[in-house]
Structure 1
Amino acid sequence: MNDHSGYWDPLPAARTAADIPVPEAVPNLALTLPHPETYLTGIWAERNWRNVPGPFYAADTDTCWTGRMAAPDHVVYDDATGQEIVYRQPRNAVEVDRLLYAAWTDPLGGYGWDGDQHWTPDSVRAWWRERARLREWATDLRVAWSDHSDPYRREAATGLSDLLLHLDGELEADLRLYLHRLEERRPPPRPVERLPEPRPRDRGSSGRPGPNPLRSHSEVTPHRSAPPQGRA
């Protein structure tokens, strides 16, 4: 669903993804995805910092490296933990289905889809300012895995190459649209409450202020007139 800014919201497509056929399912075996609420149970506080801003993220996932089998254009792997990372948010219904399939294959239910409830314009900008850290990590790991004897790591290196292309290419424009989306969803600022103007204190016929109503009668010092001048 596109809003007027051009941002495509993947969540409506995700909410209606229950009972769809599993992409590339085992032949002659009818498999359908259950409702996403049953397996998108990742915890925001446990997400990997490398996940790009957006509604979907990977947190405490399994380490079996199944995510790229379902969504190679969206998922890479962390070398330290083996957990999965969402490096590109889906931009159409087909990509949503692929990412949901990747999440469904994770036995720990470590993917989440409540990122919109946590990302703020300030946190998105802070993530973008740290992109050099992400680039350094992906570059070093791609070099290490490109010539690895393990074919799974060599395949994972291609995902890191795609991540780097996305980081230096379309991601900035994607995040600008996402920022606009978050800005629009901000609650309006509360109106400034003005205190009532203080009422002027009553003045007597002499023009002097009357007694302060917040002071007790005993605190009011009686006015004493000056003694008359003596006669010469």
Structure 2
Amino acid sequence: MHIVDQACDLTTSALGAGRWRRMLYPLIFHLPGLQRSGKVREWWAVATHWMNVPGPFYTGQTDNCWTGRVHAPHNVLYGGPYYNEFVYRQPRSPAEVDCLLEAANDDPYAGYACDGDARWTPAAVRAWWGNRGKVEEHLAELLAEYAKEGADAQDIDAAAGVRDFLAYLATDLANDLRIYLFRLENGRYPNTDDLLPIL
């Protein structure tokens, strides 16, 4: 079983349900007016941070106190007009899942969620990838800001995260998204002999 499957299975287990509901409860359940009005998809389109990399884990409206990288430096970064947290890399190990849980636990707005499989579609994943130039442009702006002379420790750390995200965009992300597309289209992660879909 893939690590993300194992992590998301915690939401239905007796041991994990309380912890996940408390820390990674989807944001829509904190906005009952939208849920009752049937505007869940509209909410997803508007409130989800546009820089989240497609996958099960994502953020909506988080705080901007820059606590996410304290716990999950390989998964969380800050950006957008309010410097909110977003998931720039899906967890690759049980340790990274735990780190992401800690980042979620530290967010007072409960802005983290793990129901991305129910929200991302293959077309939306491909559209995100097709618009990656906008992501790269914003990352270049962030890097110039975070790496300026006299930067404090948080800015230096954020600049390292931006460089990591840029490197990920240029190397492994395309293949990771093809694997995720396979999961969305087939309900499972691919075996070594499965052909991956075109991104």
Whether these two folds match at TM > 0.5 is yes
C-alpha distance in structure 2 between counterparts of 1:58 and 1:160, whole Å: 17
C-alpha distance in structure 1 between counterparts of 2:96 and 2:70, whole Å: 13
Q: Which structure has more helix as a fraction of its residues? A: 2
- The 5-angstrom pairing of residues 5-84 of structure 1 reads 8-16=2-10, 35-41=19-25, 42-43=27-28, 44-45=44-45, 46-84=47-85
Please say which structure displays the higher CA radius of gyration. 1
| TM-score normalised by structure 1 residue count | 0.67
Cα pair 1:15 1:36 within 8 Å, conserved = no
Q: Deviations over 1:102-123 (max 9, x none)?
A: 1111111100111000111111
The alpha-carbon deviation at position 9 of structure 1 amounts to 4.7
Equivalence for 1:229? none
> Percentage identity across aligned positions?
44
SS of 1:13's equivalent in the other structure is helix
Equivalence for 1:89? 90
- The amino acid of 1:39's aligned partner reads M
Unaligned ranges ≥5, structure 2: 29-43, 189-199
Which fold has the larger relative contact order, with Cα–Cα distance below 8 Å and residues 6 or more apart in sequence?
A: 2
Q: 1:177 to 1:79 in 2, by over 3 A?
A: closer
C-alpha distance in structure 1 between counterparts of 2:187 and 2:122, whole Å: 10
- My pick for the range that moved more, 106-115 or 40-49, is 40-49
Equivalence for 2:151? 149
Cα pair 1:15 1:35 within 8 Å, conserved = no
The alpha-carbon deviation at position 19 of structure 1 amounts to 11
- The 5-angstrom pairing of residues 94-105 of structure 1 reads 94-105=95-106
Q: 1:15 to 1:102 in 2, by over 3 A?
A: farther
C-alpha distance in structure 1 between counterparts of 2:107 and 2:77, whole Å: 14
- The amino acid of 1:13's aligned partner reads A
Q: 1:9 to 1:122 in 2, by over 3 A?
A: farther
C-alpha distance in structure 2 between counterparts of 1:115 and 1:86, whole Å: 11
Unaligned ranges ≥5, structure 1: 2-7, 21-32, 187-232
Equivalence for 1:164? 166
- The amino acid of 1:81's aligned partner reads Y
Aligned residue pairs total: 168
Cα pair 2:23 2:101 within 8 Å, conserved = no
C-alpha distance in structure 2 between counterparts of 1:136 and 1:160, whole Å: 11
Deviating runs (4+, > 6 A) in structure 1?
A: 17-20
C-alpha distance in structure 2 between counterparts of 1:79 and 1:157, whole Å: 15
Q: Deviations over 1:140-197 (max 9, x none)?
A: 21022112533312221110000001111110110010101111139xxxxxxxxxxx
